[in-house]
Structure 1
Amino acid sequence: MLAPYRLLAAVGRLPTLLLWSLLGRLHTTATALALTFLVTDWTGSYTRAGLVAAALTIGTGIAGPLRGRAADRSSVPKLLILTGACYGGGLCVLAALPAHLWPVAPVVALLTGLSMPPVSQVARSVWARVEPIEARNATYAVESTLSELLFMVGPMLAAFTVAVVDPWAAVVLCGVFAFLGALGFALALMRSDLRPVPTPKSESDTPSSEGSTTGPAPTTERRRFVLREPGLAPTITVSMLLVAALVAVDLVIIAWARERDTPELAGVLVAVWAVGSLAGGLIMGGLPGRPNPVRRLIAVTAGLLLLVPVLPPIWAEPNPWLVGLVLAAGGAAIAPAFGAMNNRLGELAPTGRRAEVFGWMATGSMAGSSLAATSVGWMLDVGSLGAAAGLSAAFGCLAVLVALQIPVAAGASPQERAEDVVS
């Protein structure tokens, strides 16, 4: 089980790159919580908080493929540093807004989201170049697993800052982490042999022969829209729905903690959820064979369904220990599911356009976050915690149905292809 992790550690400077890529995304796990507390303190409305969060995610979603394409064709370190500075500055501006000017917040959030540093898409495009393939699979698995540490540390740090200082301080802290993380990742890339090399436009439009199920496309199709490549659109749609489901649960936890007047509980429960995911990722990441996305998504959805009966109206007075136990058990499939989806997308993406493809994945993720922020925010205002959790499970069910449309990547064995079809 440990063999893939040993292979990963043997690739030069890969552990350092992995570490900085994670630190560069730490702010993303804390920003939603910090902004939710900030805007609800301003307005007393989860719907309005959802609008601000949705504006931020819409801006980030628009920027995703654009930043990814820029990363494929220009200096990645310079791009990371510039966008990190703009994004961090935007969050500081949001924190400094007076409460009576909250209608300006969605505009500022949108502009801030447009500056999101492309840490995730750059990192995942780099992992697709890791050899041998066992080390590459382990890298995707370890990244998804260790990302759960971010969901432990980020929300807890934000919740602690909200409880001890104020919501605006938590938002500022997110901005500082955004800039420092992007800067550190940029410097690590400059020292690594795996750093991206700008690709000429004519070459960047050539599909991958190592990951595509169809092989190189004819010259007349080299300029076609990248999401027309087989399997990319459903894979990104699944990521969008999966993120929507998980963000919905985050909002349910935040709402319950705020109703109890214990904001620190939100950070603790999100951390417990992440512990379950971390444990599942460590175990599944070391197993041999190609990961099966459909099976892992079914397991995630089952965990989401388990949350509904322990919340109102079914359980009138939720028990924090019971909710934490359900979150820990249900979270065990989250990191394995993300690892499987990222690995499959890296196999299907054209070689010279991987950062752009993972940028579209970031866009899909942000769209899922925006969908959850608006729909679940409204559900919490007019419905119940259990209804909002049920909506999360509905997103998970849709993700499973769409995942059935994802083709098997080139290089899979006949047995793995059969297993994909059966699942």
Structure 2
Amino acid sequence: MVGVLRRFAHLLTRPKVAAAAFWSVLARLPVYLMTLAIVLVVREQGGSYVQAGTVAAVYTLAMAVLGPWVGRQADRHGHRPVLLVTGLAFPLSMAAFIWWTEPGTPAQFVMAAVSGSLPPPANSSVRSLWARLPLDERARETAYLWESLLTELLIIGSPLLLAALMITGSASLGLTVITAVGGLAACGFALTPALAVVRPAGGGAVGLGPLCERGLLTLFALMAGYAVPIGLLTLAIPAFVDQHGERGHTGFVYACWGVGSAVGVLLLGNLGMGRPDHQRFPWLVLAYAVGLALPVLAFSEPTLGLALAVGGLPIALVAATELSLVRGLAEPHTLTEAFTWASTATVVGEAAGQQLGGLLVERAGARGVFAVAVAVALAVAVLCFAARGVLSRRTPSEVFSD
């Protein structure tokens, strides 16, 4: 654990990196709470759960559809102008959605779609930056480990921040503050020295862009499949807690999964670092599948929390390897769009898992959904082993000088 923390400290204190890392963390505060926050805001406005869920789905769909296009603009025109424009426009559009629309009105759906198309591409931009920095392979792997750890911390911490703001105000005020901070931080990230010297390698992608690359398309499909069990468990965990505990404890049990994943980075971050990504990836996905089998054995809230924490240890390591594979497979002038497509693939996979989980949980129960999640993950692991040759192709890295 100490060795991994030392690697993080060495990476994040490098010249040009510290400021970019700081602002990029703040810029991503809104990313992992938007669906929950939108539901809370619409309910606070007097809307039904059906209306709230529909509005949240419109936001997510707009983000998934238009996110890659925004990433392409960053590749084509540079990260700075795209981050500045979206950093200013996103909080303004969210303010209009929160304070000037009402549940069930066309204006609310329109503003949800507009807001979903405008989140600053901080995730894909910073991951593209890690790919372009003049780092050795170990330092670059450390960067993607950091990204995976940060994702878990934000998934756990962002809703807690929203809850803290709601104590002193409301969901509407809390979401307004968080999106404003995220937008301003995106502008701060855009103005850092690191991004000032990054230049696209070409004119950006055309046509289907990264989707024309066989290796990337294969990886995106595997990432979508890998995310299906995560979507399944978002339905199975609440169902299990309803049956074996108290509904109010669902959030705490679910958080154990993220905590386990974050701990996995610290404890296992050095695992297999010397092996090529395409060889390490299938084994990590297999470990993820085995970990998913533990919740099948749970019989109470505490045992489910423990099973999720232990079983979640490989999750962030899988995510870090996925990011490294995207960096190696994408052409330099399509990096940002490629990272955005990777996020989109994960969103699509989780959504499919949630839909399937909703259909299964009433018939098969939580334990049955856990078992289906294991079967899906094992199938994806087999496909990952079969795809090692396709995933082994590497493209030259683009770097900039200090």
Q: TM-score of the superposition, structure 2-length normalised?
A: 0.80
From 197, 208, 223, the equivalent of 1:239 is 223
**Structure 1 Cα separation of the partners of residues 127 and 321 of structure 2:** 13
Identify if the C-alpha distance between structure 1 residues 285 and 391 changes in structure 2 by more than 3 Å, giving closer, same or farther.
Answer: same
Q: 1:34, 1:159 within 8 Å by CA — same for their partners in 2? A: no
From 282, 291, 296, the equivalent of 1:303 is 291
Identify if the C-alpha distance between structure 1 residues 160 and 135 changes in structure 2 by more than 3 Å, giving closer, same or farther.
Answer: same
Q: 1:31, 1:174 within 8 Å by CA — same for their partners in 2? A: no
Identify if the C-alpha distance between structure 1 residues 50 and 385 changes in structure 2 by more than 3 Å, giving closer, same or farther.
Answer: farther
Q: 1:155, 1:271 within 8 Å by CA — same for their partners in 2? A: no
Match of 1:211 in 2: none
Q: 2:210, 2:217 within 8 Å by CA — same for their partners in 1? A: no
Match of 1:196 in 2: 198
Q: 2:292, 2:311 within 8 Å by CA — same for their partners in 1? A: yes
From 337, 348, 364, the equivalent of 1:367 is 348
From 31, 36, 39, the equivalent of 1:33 is 36
Q: 2:39, 2:52 within 8 Å by CA — same for their partners in 1? A: yes
- Is residue 2:326 matched to residue 1:353? no
Identify if the C-alpha distance between structure 1 residues 193 and 178 changes in structure 2 by more than 3 Å, giving closer, same or farther.
Answer: closer
Q: Which moved more, 1:280-289 or 1:337-346?
A: 280-289
From 274, 278, 285, the equivalent of 1:289 is 274
Identify if the C-alpha distance between structure 1 residues 86 and 348 changes in structure 2 by more than 3 Å, giving closer, same or farther.
Answer: same
Match of 1:132 in 2: 136
**Structure 2 Cα separation of the partners of residues 65 and 128 of structure 1:** 18
Identify if the C-alpha distance between structure 1 residues 254 and 48 changes in structure 2 by more than 3 Å, giving closer, same or farther.
Answer: farther
What is the one-letter code of the residue matched to 2:81? K
**Structure 2 Cα separation of the partners of residues 375 and 103 of structure 1:** 29
Match of 1:328 in 2: 309
**Structure 2 Cα separation of the partners of residues 375 and 93 of structure 1:** 34
Once the two structures are superposed, the pairs formed by residues 184-263 of structure 1 within 5 Å of their partners are 184-188=188-192, 191-192=193-194, 195-201=197-203, 204=204, 225-250=209-234, 253=237
- Is residue 2:73 matched to residue 1:70? yes
**Structure 1 Cα separation of the partners of residues 182 and 172 of structure 2:** 16
**Structure 1 Cα separation of the partners of residues 228 and 246 of structure 2:** 26
Identify if the C-alpha distance between structure 1 residues 80 and 138 changes in structure 2 by more than 3 Å, giving closer, same or farther.
Answer: same
**Structure 2 Cα separation of the partners of residues 77 and 249 of structure 1:** 38
Shift of 1:329: 1.0
**Structure 2 Cα separation of the partners of residues 65 and 38 of structure 1:** 27
Q: 1:280, 1:336 within 8 Å by CA — same for their partners in 2? A: yes
Match of 1:219 in 2: none
**Structure 1 Cα separation of the partners of residues 382 and 214 of structure 2:** 17
Once the two structures are superposed, the pairs formed by residues 64-103 of structure 1 within 5 Å of their partners are 64-96=67-99, 100-101=103-104
Match of 2:398 in 1: none
Q: 2:59, 2:112 within 8 Å by CA — same for their partners in 1? A: yes
Shift of 1:17: 2.1
**Paired-residue identity, %:** 25
What is the one-letter code of the residue matched to 1:228? C
Match of 1:216 in 2: none
Q: Which moved more, 1:234-243 or 1:133-142?
A: 234-243
What is the one-letter code of the residue matched to 1:179? G
What is the one-letter code of the residue matched to 1:181? A
Q: Which moved more, 1:236-245 or 1:61-70?
A: 236-245
Q: Which moved more, 1:118-127 or 1:32-41?
A: 32-41
What is the one-letter code of the residue matched to 2:190? A
Number of aligned residues: 383
Shift of 1:77: 2.1
Match of 2:400 in 1: none
SS in 2 for 1:12: coil
What is the one-letter code of the residue matched to 2:224? M
- Is residue 2:275 matched to residue 1:273? no
SS in 2 for 1:116: coil
Identify if the C-alpha distance between structure 1 residues 149 and 269 changes in structure 2 by more than 3 Å, giving closer, same or farther.
Answer: same
Q: Which moved more, 1:124-133 or 1:15-24?
A: 15-24
**Structure 2 Cα separation of the partners of residues 11 and 18 of structure 1:** 10
Shift of 1:50: 4.4
Shift of 1:296: 1.3
**Structure 1 Cα separation of the partners of residues 366 and 98 of structure 2:** 28
**Structure 2 Cα separation of the partners of residues 365 and 21 of structure 1:** 21
Shift of 1:293: 1.3
Root-mean-square deviation (CA, aligned residues, Å) is 3.6
**Structure 2 Cα separation of the partners of residues 391 and 159 of structure 1:** 33
SS in 2 for 1:235: helix
Runs of 5+ unmatched residues, structure 2: 396-402
**Structure 1 Cα separation of the partners of residues 361 and 108 of structure 2:** 21
What is the one-letter code of the residue matched to 1:350? E
Match of 2:184 in 1: 180
What is the one-letter code of the residue matched to 1:182? A
**Structure 2 Cα separation of the partners of residues 395 and 93 of structure 1:** 41
